[in-house]
Structure 1
């Protein structure tokens, strides 16, 4: 199954964050980096967005979120 890739407006809507806050979260390690989907286009895997939102809803600490971000980005490197 091909993962669903969400573009920035969908991610911002799902997170309830502004563009600048979203990119600040990426800089601070609190959200995954985007993946390239074209020469000038990026997106985020929908399952990663859902996992990070669920962790926030569950009240996880920033350190727990950072660990989740590292795990999600490491999982991208696994070739199936």
Structure 2
């Protein structure tokens, strides 16, 4: 595969997820527990990160659903 066409997968930490969504930590984890938000991946014993494209897709879907619900 040509590296110039390969999309980079970026991992983001919780503070960036909170900034992108406007949600606090507790609400994000509540949505995760209800399967309404992308689950983080485990990086280590006490470390997780989110896949940026999954969070961005969730934000886009939320906006679309908000616009069509009217």
Q: CA deviation at 1:36?
A: 1.2
Unaligned 5+ runs, structure 2: 1-6
For residues 1-24 of structure 1, give each alpha carbon's deviation from its aligned partner in whole angstroms, at most 9, with x where no partner exists: 541000000001101101111000
CA distance in 2, matches of 1:59, 1:32: 17
Partner of 1:24 in structure 2?
Answer: 30
Larger gyration radius, structure 1 or structure 2: 2
TM-score of the aligned structures, taking structure 1 as reference length: 0.68
Q: Give structure 1 stretches of 5+ with no counterpart.
A: 61-80
> In 2, Cα distance between the equivalents of 1:42 and 1:2?
18
TM-score normalised by L of structure 2: 0.77
Q: Which residue of structure 2 lines up, in the alignment, with residue 34 of structure 1?
A: 40
Aligned length: 60
The CA RMSD measured in Å over matched residues stands at 1.4
Alignment of 1:1-80 (within 5 A): 1-59=7-65
Give the distance between the partners of 2:9 and 2:46, measured in 1 at CA: 20
